Structure 1
Amino acid sequence: MGSRHGYPVLWRLTEPPPHDGPPLDATAVIVCRLFQRLRGAPGFCVSLPAGETPVPDEAERCGELVETARRRLVAGEPETGVDLRVCVVGADPTPLAFLNILGGEATKTAVLELLGWARKHHTGQGVLLMVHRFVAARATAVARLSDTDTVRISACWGLGEDLHLPGVHADTFVLKRSHDGPDLTFAGVDCAIKPWMDVPAVSGAIRASTPSHLRNVPSLSEEEALDVGRRALTAINLVGHSVPVEFALTSQGTLLRGTGGGI
């Protein structure tokens, strides 16, 4: 975008980050390490510092940058969608994400929407726009450290596009740190009635009726909840403070999807 400060910077999520640097760059490096350590889908992120969040014409140029990188990411697989997420670094708004975005025009439109949202909430050190290959989740989980001894997990069937938002029908799992060590023990689950679930559309996600045999069934097993909790603690330790961490449970295992605000 022609910034004299050398931004935006594009970082490959699953490649070794080159260096630590200013706070925004250091945060991008942490995100790359999270995706490598906790196994996220291949992708990239674009960093934009405070004061340089694009105005509309610059956002369009940023969209072109993202679209060029997206084409490389899905080269040879034109029907593969991508997930996009924006986080304001050093602030704490709930992140905004668009899932399963397919094609160039849809990607650029999603970038404009995400950066427009970030401009309205921009009080932090900068913005990270994360893009990775679409993850077809059978269940989605967001883990938070509610106190030093307790991990709470919100989980639902499907893509969980709005799982970070209040009022979503989701199960709540409670895990406690063991008294004799750092490991977690399962303390219980509050199983919600889940009438709806987010599923892939041709492009994007749509809300569909949850199959009746799943509506009153916990979306994670005890073992899956413990695995998500342990992964979340690893992420929180890497970040250096408590942040919500989102995971997709898939046929290929549990994948990191991203973090919440405040990273």
Structure 2
Amino acid sequence: MPLVGRFPTEGDMIEYEHYAYQHWALYVGGGKVVHLKALHGWFSTIAPFFGYLSVVTEETLEVAAAFLPNVPSSACTYKVNNKYDKRSKPFPHLQIVSAARKEVGKLKKYNLMESNCEHFVTELRYSKCFCDQGPFPREGDLIEYEFFAYQHWAIYVGDGKVVHLKALNDNLIDWLFGYLSVVTEEPLEAAAAVVPNVPAIACTYRVNNKYDRRYEPFPPLQIVNAAREEVGKKTTYNVNCEHFVTELRYGKGFSDQNSLVEHQWL
């Protein structure tokens, strides 16, 4: 796990680059950082992504790379990245370190959009929470969830929630090969676990209205109303998640991975 660039000084923000996501910590000197770390053994592999408890921890730069306990940080790099210094003046470094160490041992609720690891360290450094990992979605936006080997799609309907297709059972193979899904409304983070009881480890998500250059989207309120009217309905999964959300946004169901199809509602 190599260091990229200069060695950190007290109060610096440390960015850990993993394969599909970033993690953030605050350097407090002596080769150590303070950061948010998941709790509870195996459960900690999914806890940070779905709003469960993390603990503020002080540990070495290298150990902090594995911010999910028992999940190795293979091929991770880290660097100093005080990227918000041009936007907001940081506190003096001793004040930052003192504030960070006062947080050690405290339990925190983790929310990917509102209280994640980057929010935690920026509040300590600037007294303001920043996160540039992506724009916050607006009503009617397409949300793309990026997993290791596939993508999942949802429609943002406001108040931190999305509407999407979710499996009716916990059998991943059945779900991928045409068995029933149900249209569900739930929080952005919960929707990452598209198959019940199958954790979305290292999942990231973003706004991706990639078809807007090809088709004119409906007005946001129309999209949201149409999406919520579908909640509770069941469909075969050969109408996949991208077809579902593009039909709601554009009136046409399509996907870069498949040809145009029609819904098969039950």
TM-score over 0.5 for the pair: no
Greater RCO between the two (CA within 8 Å, min separation 6)?
A: 1
User: Quick check: which one's strand share is greater?
Assistant: 1
